[in-house]
Amino acid sequence: MAGLNRPGRPHLGPRDVVTARLAAAVYDAIGAAAATHGIDLSKYLADVIAEHVGRPDLMRWLDQGLLPLMPPRRNSEGDNGIRDHLTIRLPVPVRKAVDAAAAQHGIDRSTYLADVIAAHVGRPDLMRRLGQEVMPLAM
C-alpha cells in the first residue's frame, strides 16, 4: 500500500504534563503568538518556558533567541478573567527547573508558570506572585 513507509513524527523525548491557569488576556495573546508561528499553544509555551529556565537547547518549535518579552500592553476592562487550566508538555529537565524555581519563590508550579507567561506577553499587571514586593515580617 502506498504511503505506509512515511516517517512518523520525530520523538521529542520524555515530557511531563503541567498546567497553568492564565488570565483571559494572557491566554488570548499566547494564542495569537502561537498561531503566528503555526503551532499549538502547548508547543509554543514549552519553548517559551524552556528558554526562560535557561534550556534553549530543548526548544523544538521556535528559533532560539526569537522570544524576547513582548512590549507591555495597556490594561483594559475584563482582563482579569481566568481561563481553565492550559496543558503544557514540558521536557523533563525543563519541568524540573520550573519546579526548582517555583519552590525558590515559595509558590506552586501553576502560579509560577502563569506569571512567567504573563511577563512574556508584556502583562506584568496580570502576574499574581512573581515580582511582587513582599512586606518583611516584624521581628
Number of domains within the chain: 1
Lowest-confidence region among 3-7, 77-81, 108-112, 113-117: 77-81
**112 domain residue, yes or no:** yes
pLDDT for 130: 76
Please check whether residue 59 lies inside any domain of the structure.
yes
Q: Is residue 75 part of a domain?
A: no
The count of residues in the chain is 139
Structure confidence at residue 15 (pLDDT):
79
Residue 56 inside a domain? The answer is yes
Q: Is residue 88 part of a domain?
A: yes
Whether the predicted pLDDT of 136 surpasses 50: no
pLDDT of amino acid 10: 58
DSSP-derived 3-state class of residue 71: coil
List the one residue out of 77, 73, 84, 81 whose CA is nearest residue 125.
73
Q: Is-contact 54 73, C-beta < 8 A? A: no
Non-local (6+) Cβ contacts of 62 within 8 A are 37, 39, 44, 47, 48
Asked, for residue 1, whether it belongs to a domain, the answer is no
pLDDT tens by residue, 58-104:
888 777 555 544 544 555 444 456 666 788 999 999 999 999 999 99
**What is the model's pTM?**
0.74
pLDDT of residue 112: 93
**Residue 44 DSSP one-character state:** H
Grid coordinates belonging to 15:
515530557
Residue 135 falls inside a structural domain? no
Task: Note whether residue 23 is domain-resident.
Answer: yes
Find the domain containing 55 and state its range: 15-68+81-126
